[in-house]
Structure 1
Amino acid sequence: MTSSMRNLLSDHSRYVESFRLFLQNSTEHQCMLEFIEKKLPGLISSIGKGKSAINILSVGGGAGEIDLQIVSKVRAKYPRVAINNDVIEPSTEQILGYKERVAKASNLENIKFTWHKETSSEFESRMNTEKEFKRWDFIHMIQMLYYVKDISATIKYFHSLLEANAKLLIILVSETSGWDRLWKKYGPRLPINDLCLYVSSADINEILDKAGLKYQAYDLPSKMDITDCFIEGSKDGEFLLDFLTETCDFTNTAPLDLKAKIMEELRKPECSEKKDGKYWFNNNLSVIVVEP
């Protein structure tokens, strides 16, 4: 690995742009929304039983696109129950986006939003310092377990905060995805830092099995159009490659042999499907619902 390679998270604005293009080119949010629409109502059918208020904790809530869909489903299930929606999110930019989204949304009456600008570990430290022990009826961690230092301890801590009928929902890349293959094969040569771990559903299932926790897992088929990655000089392609490799300006900083190998890997059927002249990267996700 050359010294000029840097992790994508070291350049916030480039990360935001790469992430925006990832969402634009993938079915990431669509498949999550379909799951929320079809499966979530059944999964939350007992979380508000006998409650005057439902406490929801969003760990790494981002700009709130998915959070608001989750909250609306809980509200539809329990229309007369107050909802407290607490959000842990370290990015000021994302929190501002979330607040703007809430301000524009309708049908959010009887829902109280509270934002905590901190990481999940900072939240845990603060709760321990303040000796505050609040229990939650629904906790969700969507695409955020890559950014914690100790995944097992993080899951254990938030699981310990669940009420009797609560649920902990985790979404991350599936072990069947192109991400898992790419990371396992080339992760050691990419500029990983303390804030990014290459984990997939297989790792989480192993942690949960070891802890003896009961859970259900669901696969969410998803794909991403990465055709631009193979077009010389395409800016969008460069940003998408940054996102795929978690590397800032991968195209211009990666050693030539590594770049050639990754470009070849991305074309393989284990990573992508070629259809109608386009390359569709396997972006499959896994939803893991953990019982108290």
Structure 2
Amino acid sequence: FSSISERVAQASNLENIKFTWHKETAYEYESRTNAEKKTKKWDFIHMIQMLYYVKDVPATIRYFHSLLESQAKLLVILVSGKSGWETLWKKHGSSFPSDDLCSYVSSADLSRMLDAAGLKYQLYELPSHMDITSCFIEGDKDGELLLDFLTETLDFAKTAPPELKRQLMEELRKPGCSEIRDGKVFFNNNLGAIVIEP
């Protein structure tokens, strides 16, 4: 966090822009501003890869949407509803340990929430692929770390029940998750960028 603010402070092309840094969770920010009874409106709010870690996604969106100025935008970036993540989470998410707060939420889920709330937004698909070939090489350290990342499970390759591991490895090769090009497996890591209107 400090390295980001230091780099911004040193950037010559940002000298006339004022930054306010808040190192806190969305919940902590909301609690603090409510306790201080200070509601500040913003021209731009971004929520990049963070909605997975809030307890109540619709309530979080409602709160931050209420902080937008009349011409402002709320930008949310998270995994696409058309990504391999969506397939993995829907099919296997309940089999992964949930010892930390993590919601399996995608741009498709968020679009449904925004539609239900009657909010106007635009959805943009951001193509991205990740080479996960090493996941299929038994004992490959990088592959094991990638499996940990994909499943949000420490030592997944060593601790997962054999049947779950078999199903997951099979799923990772399917078109719903990945594509095979030149003998390599590329995971569909697409993101959804959602721009929400005030």
TM range (shorter): over 0.9
- The equivalent of 1:217 in structure 2 is 123
How far the C-alpha of 1:107 sits from its partner, in A, is: 1.5
Residues matched between the structures, number? 198
Is 1:274 paired with 2:194?
A: no
The answer as to whether partners of 2:137 and 2:143 remain within 8 angstroms in 1 is yes
How far the C-alpha of 1:215 sits from its partner, in A, is: 0.8
Query: Which TM-score applies when normalising by structure 1?
Result: 0.65
Superposition pairs of residues 181-196 of structure 1, within 5 angstroms: 181-196=87-102
Find the aligned partners of 1:104 and 1:111 in 2 and give their Cα distance.
Answer: 12
Query: Which TM-score applies when normalising by structure 2?
Result: 0.95
Matched position secondary structure for 1:107: helix
Is 1:244 paired with 2:150?
A: yes
Find the aligned partners of 2:23 and 2:125 in 1 and give their Cα distance.
Answer: 31
- The equivalent of 2:106 in structure 1 is 200
The answer as to whether partners of 1:149 and 1:194 remain within 8 angstroms in 2 is no
Deviates more, 1:190-199 or 1:150-159: 190-199
Find the aligned partners of 1:194 and 1:226 in 2 and give their Cα distance.
Answer: 24
Is 1:117 paired with 2:117?
A: no
Letter of the structure 2 residue corresponding to residue 171 of structure 1: I
How far the C-alpha of 1:201 sits from its partner, in A, is: 1.0
Find the aligned partners of 1:164 and 1:103 in 2 and give their Cα distance.
Answer: 29
Please give the per-residue CA displacement for 1:34-77, whole angstroms capped at 9, x wherever unaligned. xxxxxxxxxxxxxxxxxxxxxxxxxxxxxxxxxxxxxxxxxxxx
- The equivalent of 1:136 in structure 2 is 42
Structure 1, gaps ≥5 residues long: 1-94
Find the aligned partners of 1:104 and 1:130 in 2 and give their Cα distance.
Answer: 32
Matched position secondary structure for 1:152: helix
Find the aligned partners of 1:244 and 1:115 in 2 and give their Cα distance.
Answer: 30
- The equivalent of 1:146 in structure 2 is 52
Letter of the structure 2 residue corresponding to residue 268 of structure 1: K
Please give the per-residue CA displacement for 1:241-266, whole angstroms capped at 9, x wherever unaligned. 11100111111111111111111110
Find the aligned partners of 2:99 and 2:121 in 1 and give their Cα distance.
Answer: 30
How far the C-alpha of 1:103 sits from its partner, in A, is: 4.8
- The equivalent of 1:49 in structure 2 is none
Structure 2, gaps ≥5 residues long: none
How far the C-alpha of 1:105 sits from its partner, in A, is: 3.5
Matched position secondary structure for 1:197: coil
Q: 1:233 aligns with which of 116, 124, 139?
A: 139
